[in-house]
Each structure stands twice: as structure tokens, then as C-alpha cells.
Structure 1
């Protein structure tokens, strides 16, 4: 009984592989490649909007020339990889479930979407375990990334039935190239509207509004730095990064200070804590307030904006 059922499953898988031909692979890969620039653009803009430290812009701007020169060379390869690990397995799963449910061929694209959604959820589990990404958001993104390739392949199959011949690879990938520009422009417009209206991940980060009393306390960094801000304006520092003295002949980007000094709280513009450690240990240094009201942070960025050092202090 079990052997006969296993044989039936293998036969359905073989029929699904036969139905999933070169035309479907090329069409799915072209659809996946077409959405690549839009996905990269949305990811970059969302990361820039949500960057509380304001240090991600330089890297993103440097990435744009690389995308223009190398992006359209790599997109077909990435599209094929996407088909191999996501779209193709989703097709096999969808065909197997459709055969089990005895669904007609007119619903093949819907079963394909269902299969890719399940496969995407499996990859979301892997990414949640290995990278700590949120499962629900990752699964939703995987499902969305599969929609265009699946519908593109369905359109290619329908056109092949109507015109009795599939589109050639030049026409297929040429359409993908043109569609990628259109999708990128659409993504840029959507991100712009979302940024203005403050919706979704494109909402610009807003730092918390704290008082001097809320800032007072002990702040610690991952590198062993400790900054104690006393309510009376005194400051105690251990291994604290500070701006070097203007008369420093070593032309150093920063110094590490131990000692006592004073601090003040400035609310003009972004809230900042000005710290000056005595004993000739550098100049007055601005630590900018970020984080949230429940979990505030202080940060200092020293050096080149594209390759500098970020220092973060968190409240005890």
C-alpha cells in the first residue's frame, strides 16, 4: 500500500518536472531579474530612512555606480538562483498538490503561488534561525518576491499556447530589462510617497526627546567605555572616546580618555550631550541622543563617514 502510494508520488513529480520546461525556467528567471533593481532600491531607501546613526548614506551612494555597471550582468544569474531555490521547488510542490486536489490546468498559476509561498515560509524559518530575522516579515517578503516570476511564467505559457511558439530569449530578456526600469521607477515613487506620509519602513527615524534629568546616569559601551553623568554636571569617564586636541601633532582621529570633567545637555537641533574630560584629554565631544525613550543611546562617529568608527553608549 505504502509502496504504491510512493510510486504514485514519484510519477507526479516526474510529470511536474516534464511540465516545467526551459520556457518556464527562462520566463521565471527573467521575471525575478526584472524586479531585482526595484527590490534593491526599496531595501536601500528603507535602510537609509531607518538608520538612526546617519552613517549609511555614504555606503549606499557608493553602491549605486556598482549597481549600474555590474547589476544587469549579475541579475540573470541571481534570477536563475532564485528559480533554483524558490520558484522551481514551489512549482513542483504546487503541481503535486494540484494533482492531489484534481484541479484543472486553468488554476496552475494559483497552485504555483501557493507552492512558492510554502517554500518561502521554509526559507523564512531558516533565516530566522540563522540570522535572527523576524519570521512573519521574512515569509511575507519571500512570498512577494515569488509573485512576479510566477505570473511572468504563467503569461509566457499562455502566450506559447496562443501563438504556438514561445518567445525567444533575446525578446524575453529584453522585455525583462525594460520592465526593470519601470519597476524601479515605480518603487522609487512608492518609497517617496511612503516617506512623505510616514508609512512603513520608509518613515524617517525620529530620535527621542529627553531631558537633562533623563540623560543623567551611567552609560556603557561594548568596548569597555563607561561614562557617568552626574546630576550636578560632573562627568566621570573610563576608556571614553573623545575628539583629539587641536594642538595634537599626531593628527589622530580620536583619543581614549580616563578621568573626570563636566557635561552639559544641548537641545538645539538634535539632542546632544557635550562632554569634556579634564587633564588635557582631548576637546569637548558631542554625543548624540538616539534610540527610544525607554532605551536611549548616545553615539559618536569619528573618522571617514564611509569607513569610520562608530561608538555607542547604552544606559545601565
Structure 2
């Protein structure tokens, strides 16, 4: 620690870091809700209201995690920045905090990328948002160490920020600068043809209501209990029938009812959901965790 500076590892610093993390996550969920309204998806988004719905959960379970993250992530960032600043400049300089945060979050994202190999886009977004969250929390914890408690101020400005984000997001959609996504309106004639999953599987929907599947992936079998199988190991092929359900009122309720012996998907109430655009529609089958499902998508 640089001589003459107050201790970082104090109650006010811990609470300031935890409060900033909590507010940052709530704002992130709220902003992401507005973004999801414009994204193409098989099901309608919960929108910014998800932040309000998740608030009790975040309060009960998120606060303890925020305190732990403040101890394990925020305060070590402040301490490391203070140490590096003192060694290299002889004084405590604030901009060392974002410099250290960039390196720490970057290392964590790199390790995740090497082990899980996600798409580059989400990886970069995770790095940027994680760096912003850690930097903001560390700067506020540093400020609390220098000037005393900041928790009330953080929570107060956080509440104002949530109102501001909601107002800006609502205005963008109300003025038409951003358009809420709706699935395209289709009919049975437009759906007839051959659909592909891009990995060798095809689904052919004939105009007479018959259907044929060739090597479609059975994800329910892929995600079953036991050792993780090879990607695409579980395939289904067969013949059957299909029909188009226009739904009652909105294009979100459209579906394709598919019944093929040997293939588990497409039947039931939900069927294959329709998304994409009028020029390039998509058929989607939900699988995996019911609370956070994945989607098997077929295109033409």
C-alpha cells in the first residue's frame, strides 16, 4: 500500500464495491431487456420488465454474491492498482484501476474462451461489460476508502439510473428509432419446401401435408443423462405429416405441427415456432433447460 493512504480493506469499501456491482447488474438486465425486444427470437422477450421481476431474486441471492465478489474481485483490483501505481509513479493514480481491471477481466475471458470456445461476439461483449462493471465498482470502492461511506449515494444514483434507462429505452421504441421484433406472417404455401439445420440435417415439407426428416439432430438425446456424446451423434430420419397453425391473434402464436415417427420434436401444443424475416423465415424447436432453453433452428 502506498504510504499515507487510508486502508482499502474496510467495511465502507466492501459495501461500496458490493453496492456498485448490484446496481450494475440490475442496470445490465434492464438494458438487455430493451435490446432483446429488437432481437429476432422464436418467443417474445420479457423486455425490461425482467429486471423488475428479477429484483426480489437479485436482492435475496445477489446481495450475498455481490459482497463476496467485492471481497474477491473489487478490493483486490483496487489494492493491485494502488500497488502498481505506487511502484511506478510514486503516488496513487485513479486510472490504474481501469488498467488493472482490463487485464484481470481479459485473463478470465481468455481462460473461458480457451476452455469453452464460444463465438467471438459474446466473448468480446463479455470482456467489455465485465471490465466496465469491475472498473466502476473498484473506482467507487477506492473513493469510499479515501472519503468514507458511499453506499447510500451509490444506491440513490442507481435508482435514478434505472429510471433514466427505462425512459430512454421507452422513448427509442415509441419514436420508432428502434423497432420491436415480430415474427413474419407466413402461410402453408410459403412453408412448403426443404429446410436445413446447416449440419447435414434436412426437413422436407410437401404441399400435400407429408413430411420427411433426414438426419435431424435429436438434442433431447444429446443432452440426456450420462457421458456427453459426440456433437450430432443422435440423429433421426423418418416420414410423417405436417400442418400450419396460424394461431389466434399474433404472429408469435404461429407454429408448424410436425409428426414424424422416430423424431421427437414438432408435435404437441408448441410445435415448431416461426421466426426470422419475411425473406428468410426460420423454424425453431425448443430443447434443454425449460427455464433457459436452447433452440434448434432450420432455415432455407
TM-score exceeds 0.5: yes
Structure 2: runs of 5+ lacking an equivalent: 219-235
Q: 1:260 aligns with which of 231, 237, 240?
A: 240
The residue number in structure 2 matching 1:98 is: 89
Q: Check 1:181–1:233 CA distance in 2 against 1; reply closer, same or farther (3 A cut).
A: farther
* Greater helix proportion: 1
The residue number in structure 1 matching 2:161 is: 186
Check conservation: 2:8, 2:75, Cα contact below 8 A: no
Q: 1:41 aligns with which of 22, 26, 33?
A: 26
Check conservation: 2:33, 2:50, Cα contact below 8 A: no
* 1:228 aligns to 2:204 (yes or no): yes
Aligned-residue offset at 1:149: 2.5
CA–CA distance in structure 2, aligned partners of residues 61 and 257 of structure 1: 44
* 1:113 aligns to 2:98 (yes or no): yes
Q: Describe how 1:164-183 pairs up with structure 2 within 5 A.
A: 167=148, 172=149, 175-176=150-151, 179-180=154-155, 182-183=157-158
Q: 2:251 aligns with which of 257, 267, 270?
A: 270
CA–CA distance in structure 2, aligned partners of residues 186 and 98 of structure 1: 35
CA–CA distance in structure 1, aligned partners of residues 96 and 287 of structure 2: 53
The residue number in structure 1 matching 2:184 is: 209
Aligned-residue offset at 1:40: 2.2
CA–CA distance in structure 2, aligned partners of residues 225 and 59 of structure 1: 35
Check conservation: 1:30, 1:176, Cα contact below 8 A: yes
Check conservation: 1:208, 1:289, Cα contact below 8 A: yes
Check conservation: 2:17, 2:75, Cα contact below 8 A: no
* 1:88 aligns to 2:88 (yes or no): no
The alignment of Structure 1 onto Structure 2 pairs a total of residues equal to 261
Q: 1:312 aligns with which of 283, 296, 300?
A: 296
Q: Check 1:156–1:89 CA distance in 2 against 1; reply closer, same or farther (3 A cut).
A: closer
Question: TM-score scaled to structure 2, two decimals?
Answer: 0.62
CA deviation map 1:258-316 (0-9, x unaligned): 5332434749632634335499x967864322246787532245999748x76633226
Structure 1: runs of 5+ lacking an equivalent: 1-14, 100-104, 160-166, 242-255
Check conservation: 1:270, 1:288, Cα contact below 8 A: no
The root-mean-square deviation of aligned C-alpha atoms, in Å, is 4.7
